[in-house]
Chain A
C-alpha cells in the first residue's frame, strides 16, 4: 500500500482539490490500493505565518509519501523535500480523479515551489 495526501476543499473523495497547500481546507490521506481515506481538517488555515511549514510537518507525521495539490510555496516545498515527500502540483478537479490519475502514472512530480511565499494568504 501507499499513502498519499491530496489537499481538498472538503472532507470526502468527491470534494474539489484545494489549490493551496499550507492553508488548504482539508488533507485527504488516501491508501492508493483500497481508497480508504482519512480526512484531516487543516488546523493551520489561519496561522499567522509558516502555514506551509507546519502543514508539511503534519502530512509528514501521517506517513505520506506523496502530496498532490495545486501549488506549494518555497517553505512548504523545502519542508516536504526534507521529509522525503514527493510533491505534485498543478492538480485541480475532484480528489478521487486526482488519485486515479496518480495511480495511472499521469501525474509527474515538481522539482521546485510553484508559487511565492504568502500565496495562500488571500
Chain B
C-alpha cells in the first residue's frame, strides 16, 4: 500500500507527518520524493547502502549529417533546440528527455546521450526501509528522479511518500498511484488557499484523501469549515507546541520523545486502512 503525504503550501509539516507516520507503524518504507530539498533523512538518519546516478536522455547532434531542416526544433515542446542558418544549438537543461527530436529527425542526425540529473539513494534504519533522491544543484527537471526513487517501492511494505509542495509536475509524479493521500495543512488563509488547490488535484486523480491540521490551535476556523462542507475527513490534529518545534530544530522526530503521539499516528494509519479502495 502507498500512502503519500502532500500539501499545497510548503512548510506545513509534510516531512514531520511522513517521518513520524513511518516511525509509528509496522513494516514501513519511507520514500522522500521531495528531491529538490530532501530532509527526511535528517530525522531518520538512515544508513545509506546504495547510491545510484539517475539520467535523462538528451539529444546530441551529428552536424555532419544535419541539414538544418528544423524538424527537431519544431517538435520540441520545450524550446531546447534552436536551428539557425547553418547552426544548431542544444540547451540540455531545458530538455525533458521525451525523445521526439531523435525519433523524428529525417536524417538520423540525432542520438540520445545520458545527462545525470541527480542520485537516488536507499538505506535502512532499524526495521524501517528508506529511500530518497537528491537532485543536482541548478537542475530543474525533477520528475525523472522522482520516478527513479519510486522504483524502489517495496510492494510488501507500507510505503510512505514525502511529496514536494505545490500542485505541479513533481507533485503529480510523487502521488500518482497512491492508495491514499494525507494532505497536511495549517489553519491559516494561505494554508487553506493551497489546500483547496491540492484537493482539486486529488479529486482529478481519484485518490482518496484526508487532512492533517498542523499547528491546529493557530489561525482561524475556516479550514475546519471548508473540510466539513466538502466532507473531507480530518485525520489528525497536531497542536502548536514549543516542544515539537524544538525537537524539529534539532533533527529529532517528535514521536521519539513524545510517544503518546505514536498512538495517534498508528490510529490515523488504521483509519486510512478503512478508507482505501478495495481492489
Contact = CB atoms under 8 A, between A and B. Distances in A.
A50 B85 CA distance: 19
Contacts of B113: none
Nearest to A52: B79
Interface stretch (A13-21, A33-41, A54-62, A102-110): A54-62
Interface in B68-94: 73, 78-80, 82-85, 87, 89, 91, 94
Chain B's interface size range is 10 to 19
A47 B73 CA distance: 15
Interface string A62-104: 0000000000000100110011100000000000000000000
A61 to B, nearest CB: 9
Interface residues of A, number: 16
B87 A50 contact: no
Contacts, number: 41
Given A51-B79, A83-B85, A57 B91 contact: no
Contact of A53 (B79, B85, B87): B79
Given A50-B79, A57-B82, A78 B89 contact: yes
Interface in A1-56: 47-51, 53-54, 56
A121 to B, nearest CB: 13
B101 to A, nearest CB: 14
A49 B85 contact: no
A22 to B, nearest CB: 9
Contacts of A56: 82, 84
Contacts of A57: 73, 82-84
Given A57-B73, A75-B91, A50 B78 contact: yes
A79 B78 contact: no
A53 B80 CA distance: 8
B21 to A, nearest CB: 35
Contacts of A75: 91, 94
A82 B90 CA distance: 12
A47 B87 contact: no
B119 to A, nearest CB: 24
Q: Which of B78, B84, B87, B94 has the most CB of A within 10 A?
A: B84
Contacts of B78: 48-50
B89 to A, nearest CB: 5
Given A57-B84, A79-B84, A82-B84, A47 B89 contact: no
- Pick the 7 closest A-B CB pairs, nearest first: A50-B79, A83-B84, A82-B87, A54-B79, A53-B79, A79-B82, A53-B82
15 contacts: A49-B78, A49-B79, A50-B94, A53-B80, A56-B84, A57-B82, A60-B85, A75-B91, A75-B94, A79-B82, A82-B82, A82-B87, A82-B89, A83-B84, A83-B85
Interface of B: 73, 78-80, 82-85, 87, 89, 91, 94
